[in-house]
Amino acid sequence: MTELHDKRGDRAEPAGSLAQRVADRMLTNDTATRSLGMHIVSVGPGRAELTMRIRPDMLNGHGTCHGGFIFALADSAFAFACNTHNYITVAAGCSIDYVRPALAGDLLTATAEERALAGRSGVYDIHVVNERGETVALFRGRSHRKQGHVVPE
Amino acid sequence: MTELHDKRGDRAEPAGSLAQRVADRMLTNDTATRSLGMHIVSVGPGRAELTMRIRPDMLNGHGTCHGGFIFALADSAFAFACNTHNYITVAAGCSIDYVRPALAGDLLTATAEERALAGRSGVYDIHVVNERGETVALFRGRSHRKQGHVVPE
Amino acid sequence: MTELHDKRGDRAEPAGSLAQRVADRMLTNDTATRSLGMHIVSVGPGRAELTMRIRPDMLNGHGTCHGGFIFALADSAFAFACNTHNYITVAAGCSIDYVRPALAGDLLTATAEERALAGRSGVYDIHVVNERGETVALFRGRSHRKQGHVVPE
Amino acid sequence: MTELHDKRGDRAEPAGSLAQRVADRMLTNDTATRSLGMHIVSVGPGRAELTMRIRPDMLNGHGTCHGGFIFALADSAFAFACNTHNYITVAAGCSIDYVRPALAGDLLTATAEERALAGRSGVYDIHVVNERGETVALFRGRSHRKQGHVVPE
């Protein structure tokens, strides 16, 4: 169990659940998610909730958070959610609509939910809000399931 | 002139061109683009070319580059391209299709081109390739022009 | 009141509501929506529900419903939903993810919901299901508000 | 050979080419494409060009062409292009950005080009212009290859 799970709240799965074991394994190697300061609040079958605080080094030339970092948070939530079934699953394509800017110091929360799963393809919606509950961005990801499992079944 | 322009090649605009002046100004405040190690190869009216080398801290749990960083490179190329006309312009929405993974050490190049501009909206295509010329991702961004200029006209 | 509202159910707004008046006015000129056999089940502030039955002339070369008609149903639901506030509003861009095919005779229902509204831009999600409640497609539309009203305030 | 190929110009493949044979076979069953009045101008490996004239029954409540029909034209061009390799291929997801409205009587041309093909997935860009050469819409489609061939090899 890593410190990244400290914030798991009431909705968290039991520590030994499949979704949680997959998330733990993924995080072990996921340097990107950790180096961006993301925390996993909870994971469950087909869903994940992550937080990230906007750092000064994440600002763009307009003084707001570079879209790439908002995208990265949503993308990580998407990745954790779509792998919870323990099939190795990758992103095929994603789209993001920006609703309002994020500023330095903002704590963003991304909530990923499975909207459809058919064959090897899935669709996930990720909602990114700031600590005032205002929508920052809406992200949609299409996943593609590959061969193999993330952790032993 | 910053070191970030060292790599500008034959297609580069004259140093004093409007597109170049806008890019210089944007970079001054764009901590995100610089902290990710991106370099501007060239900018011109409605276009920009940027490079970024994949670092070990950009890898995800599958051992390939986290999609957020590929997105961030494309998004920066998009931002520079859509501001070259010197109107403050932001991203309204973006989509990305991943074609093949990027690995640690890969040098990615993102080339942004303006595909349409009507009223305050524009559409830009960004092509991301690795140093072998293989397509890594295709990005499309929709821009929204706001009031004001980036640099004095 | 047109026959297109025959199917309005419990969730329908009062006939004289603003959302309903806007929908009535839009339908009067919307030859496309009518010629495709769509019915408006209900409209309300920021939402709309439409149905369409797949006709034999809507099939593609693979024997399933041409994606353009599934898109058209979702797009109409999107258009009605984003105009319910009585500001003339058009689509800026849309994306659709196909989950399962639709076949001749299927009755599709598209439910549009407003997900975000900021300034002149809005984001709407449209869920398309068949009569067995199975997801056929997920559509997301970005709207752009123009000058003027649909009906007199 | 159907009348739909009357307009094939210099870029057309030989009548017996694989891409052309696939297109001929697809059209035979593609009631949708024919009922919308589309014409195939040319097809070749990974590409297709189709035209469609906007009819009065294609107009929406704003008096311009319903987005669904512009989408349908682009979607057909996408379908023909991604099947030219003679593997049964369907759309996984598509996005469209509208640049300017189309009006009744406008003759639209959609040109589909393959941008990437990796494994079973492909990405195609479709450019829709009016007869004045003005961009009406930009469409991007992600294809998914299934088992089987369109015509005998």
For the segment A76-108, what is each residue's pLDDT rounded down to a tens digit? 999 999 999 999 999 999 999 999 999 999 999
* B88 touches B148 (CB < 8 A): yes
- When comparing pLDDT for A68 and A4, which is higher? A68
CB pairs under 8 A between C and D: 140
Strand ranges (DSSP E) for C9-151?
39-44, 47-53, 87-98, 107-118, 121-129, 135-149
- When comparing pLDDT for D133 and A60, which is higher? D133
pLDDT at B134 over 60: yes
Q: Which of C32, C57, C91 sits opposite D32 (nearest CB)?
A: C57
Q: Which of D95, D99, D121 sits opposite B116 (nearest CB)?
A: D99
Q: Which of A23-32, A49-58, C59-68 has the highest mean pLDDT?
A: A49-58
Rg (CA), chain D: 15
Q: Mean pLDDT across chain C, nearest whole number?
A: 89
pLDDT at C61 over 90: no
Beta-carbon neighbour count of residue B105 at 10 Å? 10
Token pair recorded at residue C99: 């989950």
Residues A98, A71, A53, A36: what is their CA dihedral angle, to the nearest 10 degrees?
Answer: -160
Percent of chain A with pLDDT over 70: 90
pLDDT at C147 over 80: yes
Confidence of residue C21 (pLDDT cuts 50, 70, 90): very high
Mean predicted confidence (pLDDT) in C132-147: 96
- With CA atoms as reference, report the closest residue to D106 among D146, D137, D138, D83: D137
DSSP calls for D70-91? HHHHHHHHHHHHHHTTSEEEEE
pLDDT at D4: 37
Confidence of residue B29 (pLDDT cuts 50, 70, 90): confident
- When comparing pLDDT for A127 and C119, which is higher? A127
* C48 touches C112 (CB < 8 A): yes
* ipTM of model: 0.86
pLDDT at A153: 82
Separation in Å, CA of A8 to nearest CA in chain D: 34
Mean predicted confidence (pLDDT) in B96-124: 96
Mean predicted confidence (pLDDT) in A136-149: 95
The least confident of A73-82, A112-121, B45-54, D1-10 is: D1-10
Q: Which of B100, B121, B140 sits opposite D140 (nearest CB)?
A: B140
pLDDT at B61 over 90: no
Confidence of residue B88 (pLDDT cuts 50, 70, 90): very high
pLDDT tens string, chain D, 153 residues long: the values are: 333 333 434 444 565 699 999 999 999 989 998 999 999 999 999 999 999 999 999 998 888 999 999 999 999 999 999 999 999 999 999 999 999 999 999 999 999 999 999 889 999 999 999 999 999 999 999 999 999 999 998
Positive or negative torsion for Cα D60, C52, C95, D47: negative
The least confident of A144-153, B73-82, D99-108 is: A144-153
C-beta atoms of A121 and D92 within 8 A: yes
Cα(C126)–Cα(C1) distance, rounded to whole angstroms?
25
pLDDT at D16: 64
pLDDT at D119: 87
Instruction: Give all strands of the β-sheet with D87-98 in edge-to-edge order.
Output: C39-44, C47-53, C107-118, C121-129, C135-149, C87-98, D87-98, D135-149, D121-129, D107-118, D47-53, D39-44
Mean predicted confidence (pLDDT) in B10-33: 80
Contacts of D30 in chain C (CB under 8 A): 59-61, 66
Position of tokens 């799970």? Answer: A5
List residues of chain D with CB under 8 Å from any CB of chain B: 95, 97, 99-100, 115-116, 118, 121, 123, 125, 135, 138, 140, 142
C-beta atoms of C27 and D62 within 8 A: no
The least confident of A47-56, A63-72, B24-33, B124-133 is: B24-33
CATH for A3-149, options being 1.10.3720.10, 3.30.70.100, 3.10.129.10, 3.20.20.70: 3.10.129.10
pLDDT at C10 over 60: no
The residue extents of the domains of chain A are 3-149
Q: Please name the residue of chain B whose CA is at the shortest distance from the CA of residue A58.
A: B32
Mean predicted confidence (pLDDT) in C93-104: 95
Mean predicted confidence (pLDDT) in A65-69: 95
* A125 touches A112 (CB < 8 A): yes
pLDDT at C1: 30
List residues of chain B with CB under 8 Å from any CB of chain D: 95, 97, 99-100, 115-116, 118, 121, 123, 125, 135, 138, 140, 142
Contacts of B98 in chain A (CB under 8 A): 90-93
Mean predicted confidence (pLDDT) in C56-75: 93
Cα(A82)–Cα(A102) distance, rounded to whole angstroms?
26
pLDDT at A130: 98
* B111 touches B76 (CB < 8 A): no
Q: Please name the residue of chain A whose CA is at the shortest distance from the CA of residue B150.
A: A62
pLDDT at A61: 80
pLDDT tens for A13-37 read 565 699 999 999 999 989 998 999 9
Separation in Å, CA of D118 to nearest CA in chain B: 6
* A47 touches A8 (CB < 8 A): no
pTM: 0.89
CB pairs under 8 A between B and C: 12
Confidence of residue C132 (pLDDT cuts 50, 70, 90): very high
Positive or negative torsion for Cα C37, C42, C47, C51: negative
Q: Apex CA A146: angle with CA A143 and CA A152, to 5°?
A: 115
* B101 touches B64 (CB < 8 A): yes
The least confident of A8-12, A53-57, B105-109, D2-6 is: D2-6
pLDDT at C113: 98
Separation in Å, CA of C148 to nearest CA in chain B: 17
Contacts of A99 in chain C (CB under 8 A): 116, 118, 121, 123
